[in-house]
Structures are given as C-alpha cells and as structure tokens.
Amino acid sequence: MFTAFLIKYAEIGVKGKNRYLFENALVQQIKYALKKCEGEFAVRKTDGRIYVDAVSEFDYEETVEHLQKVFGISGICPMVHVEDEGFEKLKETILGYIDAVYPDKNRSFKVAARRARKNYPLNSMEINMELGGVILDAYPTMHVDVHKPDILLHVEIRDKVYIYSKIIPGPGGMPVGTGGKAMLLLSGGIDSPVAGWMIAKRGVKIDAVYFHAPPYTSERAKQKVVDLAARVAAYTGPIYLHVINFTDIQLYIYDKCPHDELTIIMRRYMMRIAERIARDTQCLGLITGESIGQVASQTMHSLMATNEVCELPVYRPLIGFDKMEIVDISEKIDTYETSIQPYEDCCTIFVAKHPVTKPNLKIIRRHEQNLEEKIEELVQTALDTEELIIVK
Amino acid sequence: MEVYLDNSATTRCYDEVAELVYKVMCKDYGNPSSLHHKGVEAEQYLRYARQTLAGLMKVNEKEILFTSGGTESDNIALIGAAMAHYRRGRHLITTRMEHPAVLQTMAYLEKQGFEVTYLPVDRLGRISLEDLERAIRQDTILVSIMHVNNEIGSVQPIAEAGELVKRCNAQTLFHVDAVQGFGKFRIYPSRMNIDLMSVSAHKIHGPKGVGFLYIRDGARVNPILYGGGQQKGMRSGTENVPGIAGLAKAAEMVYAGLDRDVDRMYELRRMLIEGVSRIEDVRVNGCPDREGAPHIVSLSVRGVRSEVLLHALEDKEIYVSAGSACSSNKPQISDTLKAIGVERDLLSSTIRFSISVFTTEEEIRYTIQALEEMIPMLRKYSRH
C-alpha cells in the first residue's frame, strides 16, 4: 500500500552552510542503493527533506532493506501519497490507512497535520480535530493521547497529500563520500570488516588491501576476503580491493629475523605497504580492526611498534571493544558467517608458539636491518604485481 | 602442463558420455512416466541403462535402483535396511574407515537407538575376518564394508567377508560401498554374497549427481524418499534420465578396457610410488603393491602441511587432494588416517594422488620432479 518514503536524517540537519553538500551526497547514495531494487523511484530534496517516490510497482521489503544500508539515514517513514481530492475523500483515505496498517485497533493516537500549501481550506488545527473525530467515530476502541500516542499519524498537505505514521530505523551516520577515503587492512577475520563498516558509517569511502600468501593461503581464503568486501560494499558502495602477494616478503623475514618477532615485523611491512597504496590512491588514513590485547600483535607495545612505521593516521575503531561486542556488530552487518569460514590467513601461517608480546622497538629496528639487502626490491615487486579487484 | 591427479574426488567425463547426456537433455527429453511417445522414448534409456549395468555385474535388471549418487545409495542401504528389519534386530557392523556417507548415517542410526560395531583396521587399512566373525550376532541386521578406501586405496576382502557374513547369520544383509572400487575391479554381487552395493557415476567418467544401488532380489529395504512412486516406489522422483544414460554409457566404456587400463594404472602408480620413495622422509600409506587399488597413492610428507603442498603443486598445475583437510583453527583429522595409525604429526601432512585412464607417464614424471624440487624448499619454512 505504501507508495513513497520520507527519509529522516539526524546529524546532517545540524550542519551549517555546507549542509547541502551532505544532503546531495545522501541523495546520491540513496539513488545508488535503489538501483539494486526492483522498480523505479524518484528521489527529491524539497523543503529540507528527502522523499523517495515510487513511480512504478516496487518491492516494499527489498526497498526498505536497501535503504537501511544507506549511511546518513536515521529513519525511513513509509508513506501513502494521494492526489488532493477534497477533505471528504481524505477522511476515507485516512480510515483506510489506519485499517490496513493497524489491524489491532486497541491503541491511542494523535493526528499531526502540517499544511505546507497554505490555501488549503482547513488549517492544521482544524485538520487534526476533524480527522481525530472521524477516526474515533469509525474505530471506537481507539482513543486520543496527545502526549504519548501509540500512533502518531502525520498528514501533510503539499502538492499532494502524504500520510505516514511508522518510522523504521536507519543505520545513522553520514553519507559515504562526505568524509574522504581511507584504506582498510582486510584480513578475512571477524574484526577488519567491522572496522571498515564503522569508519564508512562516518561518511568515509573505503578501499581495502589484502595480503595473500600462496601457496600458504588458498584461493578460497582470497575468495572469502572478496566476499567480505562485498558485504561491506553493500553499505559503502564499490570497494577497490588491492590484493598483494606477500609470500616472498614473509619468507625473507622468516629467513633473516628471529621467529618470535616474525608477526610484528611482518605487520610493520603490511602497514608500510598499505600506506604506500593509500598514498597512491588519495586515501587520508589507514583502518585496522585491532583491539587492545586481543592477540600478541595487538598489545599496547605491539601497536606502538606497528604504528611507528607509517605517517598517515591509523584509525582503529574497535580499539576498546571486546570480542563479543565486535561479533555482535558483525552479525548485524552480516559478515560473521563469512568471517568464520576456516581458511588460514597469512598472519597465522608462520606464527611462533610464543610470539613477543612486548616488542622492544630498538631490537625490532635492529633486526629489520638484516632485511636491508633485498626488502625494498621485494616490496616494490609486491606493489607492482598487485591484483586490483573492484568489489560491488 | 595440467596434471589432474584428483580422480578419487571426481573424474573428467568421457566425451561420448557428455554427448549422450546432451542428446537426452535436448532431444529425447521426455519424462519416462509420460504415456505418450516422448515418455516411452525416455523410458527406453532407463531400460537400456538397467540392462547394461545388470549385464556388467551379471545380475538381474530389476535389482538396479537409480539414485543421485554414492551418498544417497549408502543412505538408502543403511537407513532403508535398518527401518525394514528393526523388529528383528538393532545391531549393525561397519569399519572405522568408511566414507562419511556411511559413518554419518551410522551415527544417525545410533541416535535412533541402533547399536553399531566399528571394526578396526590394520596399518595397511584392512579389516580382519576374525574380528568380523566375532562381531556378527543373532540381532545383526546389516554389515557395511567399503570395497576400496577413498583415502589410502586399501582393498577389503569383500568376497570372503560376504561368505562369512552369510555363514554366521544368513539373515544379515551385506552392504558394500563400491564407489571407489566399481570400474577398477570386476564385482559380481550375486557371487560375492552382496545384498546391497553403492556406485556413483562421476568416479567412472560419468556425470555428477547420479549413481545406483544394487539391491539383491529378495533383500528387504524400505524407501527413504516418498512421492510419485517411480522405480516401483523404491525411490520416488522423476528419474534423472540424462544422468542415468550417461552412467550406463560410462560403465560400458570403463568395462570395455578394464583389464588393460587397470594394468596401466598399476604401472603408473608403481612409477609414482618409486619416484616419491626416493625423497627423504616421505611415507606411502596403504598397500604399495597390487594388494592396493590401482588408482590411489596416499603420501605423508614429514614437515610439510598438506594444504601448503597442495597449493604449491597447484601452482604447477598439478591437482591433488589433501589427505586430511586441516587448518590452524579447525583441525578436521581424517578418521581413515587415524584408523590406520598414522603418526600424529603426519596426519596433517598427508596428500592423496589419484590416477585415471587419462593419466600419462609424462604427467607422473612431471609430478615426481615437482615434488622433488618442492618438498625440501617447503620444509625450510615451517611453523615453530
């Protein structure tokens, strides 16, 4: 029965002079999301609001599901919109609406009319009273509550008449593309897709880098990462996934450095490589899924050691999260099932039984000097041979 | 050079089979249950397939039940027999190194209140007939033994086991999972006291999703699928006519060159085993000689994880199978390898090569060479 949606956005509303930039971005993101839905839609920005009108038959459930993935939307109000054919006709429409949307009539309600078209014969107060009376007459079990109604029935008189009462929560945040771009280190685990999602929610466009180590990691491990990127891309739009072959670098570190420092040195090189790709692709920062103390390479000491190799800011949105809290989000954004597929990633293949948890920076730097001879060449080769996958 | 050595997983379809399947799908596509000419025509394919398979095994046509493959055949044999005979007894016997299609079905039956005895196997993966004799009881309704093991290629003494089962308890049904053995050995169910036998088409260069269960005339088994009553009510559902036609064609072709092809496969297998035996610390699991199956070689390579070796071989376009799928977070150790007592640290270092009629000497030489080069290199880098 619904034929349109009113899109509510919370945070953008308080922006100042550049508010229109955020609104335009949101309109763009909504249009992009709707492309994947059956049916045709017109997205309009009028009177400080965004409307999505269905201009053909459409699939309601599917449309809501896609709109719920557009950052910047705080609420989605499904609406009925009809031509203005006089007040008598409107009364009928209202009763029909209540009957269809609320089969259980044992509820309180309030009518909130808004007369944007000032030449309408009744003013807002009159519309409220008239329609309230009509509803009470038709459905005696309903009653009016002006303070905390179960149903807040909005009736807006514009070029057409819009009726809505339900608000479906959106994901919040800001429209993707309003906050620059960042490079996500995507591993295939539970954390990194969540971290990317959280930063994207603040309006940031995401690109990603994945370190592949054949034959130690399999093609399926890579496919898993592509699948994860696709889940995140449902919210963020297309993700450019840079696949870096990391095997030779890893084996070289294995040859030249103490094994208990392998993970930390490896991660330092991952950060260095990620930063170089980030700079080449105009990213303003790196994103990782690290959380303090989760594993040996994520202690404060280890984070300091991995952090010092890059100049770009490293965003770690999960830094204070417990594993269970991260799992909750990953279930919500539908990455969990993919993340737990048991394919080995390159961080675990050579991991020492007891890796250092409090790496000493001086010693790490000294051991990295063992790599001087070939490492730059290996890094360059890895960058030159990257595989770029555009994940939609 | 692409070298496909994963024929125990699945085989390349014969061209002639694929052509026939295509013809049945696009030209003679009728439903065998339809009354009109198109239906009769389709039914002819089923009749011909039954005749062909029955002829190869020297059994009666009506003893062939078409299924979706090995797993379904095993399920009908086990669950169907258990349901038909539970009043007489609730004891079943199988071995510790069956395919999951049997082991998991047995586990399901255990949950339903049946008792299952699992026979141990020796280091070469063979059961002992004495163990079997001791296990058979008055209330044993079914014995299920795999003909050729899919992971290490050991061959069970099926004929002797069949005779023993019938001698100990004439009422006990004898099921053979012959998915890996059919087309490598000539199996005559009626002469080997086999009541039920599972076969799959895609292991013998036929299409996937089709197979059959031999059910000896008089052996009582309940259906597990109900519906339109096709195949005399034993397995409802429109018959997979293209698949069945392909199955029969593949079986016919495999049998046509059976002795010569099997000799050749044994020769290739011997070459491969000899070649890899020269590499330090590599162990062949199962029987290396003609006691084992002609197409399967299982190797344990100390110090190299099977998955890594598999992907390294893949890099050279050599396709094999990990003897035991294993990863750091979820070890899935193979029951078969444990059953034959493979050392713990070799369990996740075992890979399987499996040969087919399409395999060439050159491919085997290339594979040996690749292994010789690769194994020392991979051993250098390992987890500590």
CB pairs below 8 Å between A and B: how many? Answer: 39
Same domain, A243 and A151: no
Q: Give me the pLDDT at residue B326, please.
A: 40
Can you give the residue ranges of every domain in chain B?
Answer: 3-10+258-380, 15-256
b vs e for A1-40, b when ≥16 Cβ sit within 10 Å of the residue's Cβ? Answer: ebbbbbbbbeebeeeeeeeeebbebbbbbbeebbeebeee
Closest-CA residue to A44 (of A30, A32, A58, A63)? A30
Per-residue pLDDT of chain B (384 residues; tens, 9 = 90+): 999 999 999 999 999 999 999 999 999 999 999 999 999 999 999 999 999 999 999 999 999 999 999 999 999 999 999 999 999 999 999 999 999 999 999 999 999 999 999 999 999 999 999 999 999 999 999 999 999 999 999 999 999 999 999 999 999 999 999 999 999 999 999 999 999 999 999 999 999 999 999 999 999 999 999 999 999 999 999 999 999 999 999 999 999 999 999 999 999 999 999 999 999 999 999 988 899 999 999 999 999 989 899 999 999 999 999 865 444 444 567 888 888 888 888 888 999 999 999 999 999 999 999 999 999 999 988 765
Of the candidates B329, B381, B383, the beta carbon closest to that of A342 is on B329
| A67 and A200 inside one domain | no
Residues of chain A in contact with residue B327, where contact means CB-CB under 8 angstroms, are: 342-344
Provide CATH code, domain B3-10+258-380: 3.90.1150.10
Q: With an 8 Å Cβ cutoff, are A215 and B310 in contact? A: yes
- Window 296-355 of B, Cβ < 8 Å to A: 307-312, 314-315, 327-330
pLDDT at position B380: 86
CATH number of the domain at A62, please. Answer: 3.30.2130.30
Compare CB distances from A344 to B314, B327, B384 and report the shortest one's residue. B327
CATH number of the domain that A236 lies in? Answer: 3.40.50.620
Is there a single domain that holds both residue A89 and residue A191?
no
Q: Which of B125, B128, B63, B57 is nearest to B93 (CA)?
A: B128
**Chain B residues with beta carbon closer than 8 angstroms to that of A215:** 308-312, 314-315
Across A161-308, the runs of DSSP E, i.e. the strands, are 161-164, 168-169, 181-185, 205-212, 239-245, 286-287
- Alpha-carbon dihedral of residues B221, B226, B232, B234, nearest 10 degrees? -30
Are residues A157 and A239 both part of a single domain? no
The answer to whether position A176 is within a domain reads: no
Nearest to residue A181, comparing CAs of A284, A29, A278, A279?
Answer: A284
CB contacts of A259 in chain B (<8 Å) are 384
How many CA atoms are closer than 13 Å to the CA of A200, on its beta-carbon side? 29
Q: Residue A8 is inside which H or E element, if any?
A: strand A4-8
Same domain, yes or no: A141 and A37: yes
Residue B234 sits at the chain A interface (C-beta within 8 Å): no
Mean pLDDT score of chain A? 92
B381 contacts A351? CB cut-off 8 A = no
Contact A352 B311 (CB under 8 A): no
Q: Do A342 and B315 touch (CB under 8 A)?
A: no
Cβ contacts of A221 on chain B, cutoff 8 Å: none
Which residues of B participate in catalysis according to the annotation? 326
Q: What is the per-residue pLDDT for A326?
A: 96
Domain enclosing residue A18, as ranges:
4-169
- Do A153 and A251 lie in one domain? The reply is no
User: Does a structural domain hold residue A174?
Assistant: no
Whether A352 and chain B come into contact, CB under 8 Å, resolves to: yes
For residues A158 and A201, membership in a common domain is answered with no
Provide, as residue numbers in chain B, all residues whose Cβ is less than 8 Å from the Cβ of A217.
311
Chain B neighbors of A351, CB-CB under 8 A: 383
Of the candidates B315, B329, B381, the beta carbon closest to that of A350 is on B381
The whole-angstrom distance between B20's CA and the closest CA on chain A is 34
- CA A106/CA A103 separation, integer angstroms: 9
Strand partners, B214: B64, B197
Q: Report pLDDT digits (tens) over A224-233.
A: 999 999 999 9
**Of A135, A169, A203, which residue is a domain's last?**
A169
A137 and A213 both lie in a single domain: no
| A209 in the same domain as A140 | no
CA distances from A231 to A69, A225, A329, A341, B135 (A): 11, 10, 13, 15, 53
Return per-residue pLDDT of chain A as tens, 392 residues: 899 999 988 777 667 778 888 899 999 999 999 998 999 999 998 877 899 999 999 999 999 999 999 999 999 999 998 899 989 999 999 999 999 999 999 999 999 999 988 889 999 999 999 999 999 999 999 999 999 999 999 999 988 899 999 999 999 999 998 889 999 999 989 999 999 999 999 999 999 999 999 988 888 899 999 999 999 999 999 999 999 999 999 999 999 999 889 999 999 999 999 999 999 999 999 999 999 988 888 999 999 999 999 999 999 999 999 999 999 999 999 999 999 888 777 666 777 778 888 889 999 999 999 999 999 999 999 999 999 999 99
Q: Is residue A239 domain-shared with residue A324, that is, in the same domain?
A: yes
Question: What pLDDT score was predicted for residue A279?
Answer: 96
Nearest by CB to residue A343, choosing from B308, B327, B384, is B327
pLDDT at A217: 87
Residues A382 and A306 occupy one common structural domain: yes
Are B3-10+258-380 and B15-256 the same fold in CATH?
Answer: no
Q: Report the gap between the CA of A344 and the closest CA in chain B (Å).
A: 6
Cβ within 8 Å, pair B329-A349? no
Give me the residue from A218, A251, A350 closest to B311, CB to CB: A218
**CA-CA distance, B118 to B294, in Å (whole number)?**
26
Mark whether A272 and A368 lie in a shared domain: yes
- Is the Cα dihedral B335, B337, B341, B347 positive or negative? negative
ipTM value of the model?
0.78
pLDDT score, position B23:
97
Check: CB of residue B140 under 8 Å from CB of residue B115: no
Rounded to a whole number of angstroms, the distance from the CA of A356 to the nearest CA of chain B is 13
Task: Give DSSP secondary structure letters for B282-351.
Answer: EEEES--STTS-SSEEEEEETTS-HHHHHHHHHHTTEE-EESS---SS-----HHHHHTT--HHHHTTEE
Tokens standing for A20?
């229109």
B15-256: CATH topology: Aspartate Aminotransferase; domain 2 (3.40.640)
> If you compute the radius of gyration of chain B from its CA atoms, what whole number of angstroms results?
21
Contact call for residues A231 and A392 (beta carbons, < 8 A): no
Helix and strand counts by DSSP (H, E) for chain A? 13, 15
For chain A, give the percent of residues with pLDDT over 70.
Answer: 98
Is B311 in contact with A259 (Cβ distance < 8 A)?
Answer: no
How far apart, in whole angstroms, are the C-alpha atoms of residue B369 and residue B356?
20
Does residue B298 contact residue B352 with C-beta atoms inside 8 Å?
yes
Q: Kindly list the distances between the CA atom of residue B90 and the CA atoms of A120, B81, B95, in Å, as whole numbers in the listed order.
A: 83, 10, 17
Number of structural domains (chain A) is 2
